[in-house]
A and B are shown apart, each in its own frame.
Chain A
Amino acid sequence: MDRLVLPTIYISKIKEEHIATYGEVSNDFNPLHFDKKAAKQAGFSDRIVHGMMTMGISTKLISPWLSSDCFIKEYESSFRYPLLIGDSLHIYGEIAERTCFDARITFKGINQHSQIIITGKILVEGRLQDSPSLLKPPSST
């Protein structure tokens, strides 16, 4: 079937404020995110970004189409490679499969060195035939 590409998410540079804001809201002050020395001791070249911030950013792929008739059933990610402060982030998503009742989306996040940071899958369920959106199955368009 056709694989429909979702609008790409792009952040040109992960800044100090991104990590600080996410740390505040999640109350996650793991030194790997805030202390360069601790990050280096753990084997990273710089402080690492919260993996859950990257996964959270990925939700923007699908959030414009969500409603009570079109809801997320499953959302999963694997964290493949650390995203570092100062890195850029592209998240690419595509609809791999659609029916009248569900849509399966795959995504991946990549840094400026084309290293894969995160991969994931989303299962959206609902009355997609009524959905005025990208998620609408081709047979009903």
Chain B
Amino acid sequence: MIDETWTGATSEVVKITITREMIASYTKAIDDDTSIYVDIASAKKAGYQDIPAPPTMPIIFWSFINVPWLEDVGPVVHGKQSFSYEHTLIANRTYDCVIHLKDVKKKQINREIMQRSNHELLLSYNDCIHATARTTLLIVKK
């Protein structure tokens, strides 16, 4: 379980450059062969400056960021996920990424304790937030 004293904590800020190759690998993993994600001519024809990132892709940025409150917490299940965009993320840009632990709550369900934690991953470019990914994680202890 997450130590609740971490509530309100923020991770380090990590600079992540989205590459066309990262987008191609991600779209392959989600079985999406839409041309704007792999073909620069299609992306530009659709009005993008470079290859756009699929809307759910920021979730993989978690793996670039050290999240100390999730170390050794055991198996974690994903409860809810949302993404809010001010701008579409595109390749060949470097985003400042940071994860914030918004809240942690425990609930007793029969003989199990379920801990629900809400996180926000903020992605900024030139000091402006371009996207926010909100993640609800569940940890169950018997």
Chain A residues within 8 Å of B, Cβ to Cβ = 11, 18, 21-22, 24-28, 30-32, 38, 42, 50-53, 55-57, 59-60, 63-64, 66-69, 71-79
Q: How far is the CA of A42 from the CA of B60 in the complex (A)?
A: 24
Q: Which residues of A contact B80 (CB under 8 A)?
A: 76-79
Q: Which A residues touch B82, using CB under 8 A? A: 74-77
Given A72-B88, A74-B82, A26 contacting B59 (CB threshold 8 A): yes
B54 touches A59 (CB 8 A): yes
- Other 14 A-B pairs with CB < 8 A, given A25-B25, A66-B34: A18-B29, A22-B29, A27-B63, A32-B77, A52-B78, A56-B29, A56-B30, A56-B32, A56-B56, A59-B32, A63-B32, A67-B36, A67-B46, A76-B83
Contacting residues of chain B (59-76) with chain A, CB-CB under 8 angstroms: 59-60, 62-63, 75-76
Interchain CB contact under 8 A, A63 and B84:
no
Quick one: which of B93-142 are within 8 Å of A by CB?
140
Name the distance in Å between A37's Cβ and chain B's nearest Cβ.
Answer: 12
B85 touches A25 (CB 8 A): no
CB distance from A70 to the nearest CB of B (A): 9
Given A26-B60, A28-B63, A59-B54, residue A69 in contact with residue B47 (CB < 8 A): yes
Q: Residue A60 contacts which of B31, B59, B63 (CB distance < 8 angstroms)?
A: B31
